Amino acid sequence: MTAVCVMVLGTTSGAGKSWLTTALCRHYARQGLKVAPFKAQNMSNNARVVAPTLHRWRGSLPPGGADAPWGGPAAGPGPHAPPLRGSLPPEGADAPWGDPAAHRGGEIGSAQYFQALAARAEPDVRMNPLLLKPEADTRSQVVLMGEVSRELSDMPWRGRSETVWPHITAALDALRDENDVVVIEGAGSPAEINLHASDIVNMRVARHADARCLLVTDIDRGGAFAHLYGTWALLPAEERSLIQGFVLNKFRGDVSLLAPAPQMLHQLTGVPVVATLPMWWQHGLPEEDGVFDMTPTLGTGVSSLPPKGAGFALGRPGGETMTRREWTTIAVIAWPRISNLDEFQPLKNVPGVRLVWARTPADCAGADWIMLPGSKSTAADLAWLRAQGLDRAVAEHAAHGGAVLGICGGLQVLGEALIDTHGIEPMALGNAPGLGLLPLVTTFDADKTVCRTTATFGELCGPWQALSGVTASGYEIHHGQTAPHPAMAAQGDVTREVMPRLAWQNAAGNVLGCYLHGLFEDPAVLRALFGANVPTLETVFDGLAVFLERHVEPGVLQALIHKD
């Protein structure tokens, strides 16, 4: 088969490309079609670990070396790649793909991971062949086909496109061979005229795939019709012809008041406005970039869709309001180099959970739980934590028996010391003392752990006791290797290892550190902590599809995939 490609472009970053792509993936999957997402290049520190591709490529990739940073055809995706022993593990399996060292995972942007789940497809590295992970204001780590490439990371940005383009087209062509529909997401705006000559993510991809394109704009920002017309006008004629419809996103008000602008835009461009999507504040899908809100948010659940044209009301799904005493307030430390923050989105969907992004000690006041998330530069974020006085806030919270959870970099910060003698950390700050809440030491290793992991919690005590015996699936992305502090262990200060080589708890039971990302995306973990009726990602995906179907003009979604 050769898939029809539907592409979502935006007039700006943040226009709504990612969630619209996710909604389209679920919509077409609900029609019984085989669907896959694709984004040629993504820039985000929110990444997920996926299996190396389980399928063979249609054609050969460039030979190994600088242009094949995974180390040559035998070491990674390609026509000679060794097959995996199996596909995704059955639920509850203890060893997903055998030895993680033998079957290393690959990294893709989290948006494409969620889009794959929405498409009911197995996520793999071809869905996001190029991932840029910012390490500083002027530097990014380049991940090609799931593997970090030092050669590409050091290469000038404008010289990179021709090197990676063969990989991008090979990945897209392979997905097209295996699916009925490929839903492609663009990046930023396709009309950035300073970038058009080196484009590898927008219209060059659209031309290669002969994609039927939708152009979405955020009408809540103002100037939506100018954005749509200006983007269309700046494109060459052959690229304008690929745009099949305009989408107005985040509209608040009476749709009839938009007239006659949609009709006038149609007359100017020949492109119809095919959807006006109402503002929907809490659709439940993680935002791709940045801390998605800095105001305390009370979880509402997503078990029912909002009425047409409306968002969710705060409170329990049944409509009754909650008193502050009934909330579980969770403060997540929002340090500057936070990574994988979107894994906390499921907490926003849980009724009765109040999520606070903490950048000052005052933000932690009254919290029931404090969480220290992952970090792209652990030592630098630890220094920031101390400069803000948040180290004392966390320590005082723990001293009074408050629950503390550190994930990945957060786990490392909770320990006694960070050892980085080889300058592995991006900011190269060397060794640093940790917060001392767990008697652990983390040493940064040149080899990066990147794998999917399923493991079972042992016996826990204190506020995390509900996780005892729970089997959790997630992923690991870390250079640090953590172990008990030998001198402290010799003196009897021994931490409790509650998940082999992955999680440790203090003697009092209120401080827990874990390397496993994605805990709150695991239904078993959510059920253990919050009860049986918490919303799941499946609920979110179906809700997105139904919402889209309500507001797109009749016949448009089917027409996009109709083969001429």
List strand residue ranges (DSSP E) for 227-379, in order: 243-251, 273-278, 297-298, 328-333, 338-339, 353-358, 369-372, 374-375
Between CA 70 and CA 173 the distance in angstroms is 20
Structure tokens at 39: 């984004």
Longest C-alpha distance within the chain, in Å? Answer: 80
Choosing from 5, 25, 408, 451, which is the catalytic residue? 408
Choosing from 167, 479, 485, 517, which is the catalytic residue? 517
Q: What is the dihedral of CA 428, 431, 433, 439, to 10 degrees?
A: 120
Between CA 355 and CA 520 the distance in angstroms is 13
Between CA 89 and CA 129 the distance in angstroms is 23
Between CA 286 and CA 111 the distance in angstroms is 8
Q: What angle do CA 313, 403, 443 make, to 5 degrees?
A: 115
Between CA 536 and CA 26 the distance in angstroms is 15
Determine contact, residues 519/525, Cβ cutoff 8 Å. Answer: yes
Pairing of strands 432-433, 130-136: unpaired
Report phi then psi at 554, rounded to 5: -55, 135
Report phi then psi at 471, rounded to 5: -90, 125
Q: Which residue has the tokens 């019709």?
A: 225
Determine contact, residues 145/171, Cβ cutoff 8 Å. Answer: yes
Q: Is 517 a catalytic residue?
A: yes
Q: Is 408 a catalytic residue?
A: yes
Nearest to 537 by CA among 517, 524, 521: 521
Q: What angle do CA 292, 8, 185 make, to 5 degrees?
A: 65
Report phi then psi at 475, rounded to 5: -150, 155
Between CA 133 and CA 137 the distance in angstroms is 11
Between CA 329 and CA 49 the distance in angstroms is 29
Between CA 442 and CA 435 the distance in angstroms is 12
- Cα of first residue to Cα of last residue in the chain, in angstroms, is 15
Structure tokens at 424: 């592995």
Our measurement of the distance from residue 535's CA atom to the centroid of its chain's CA atoms, rounded to an integer in Å, reads: 18
List strand residue ranges (DSSP E) for 180-296, in order: 181-185, 212-218, 243-251, 273-278
Report phi then psi at 205, rounded to 5: -65, -45
Would you name the residues annotated as active-site residues?
A: 408, 517
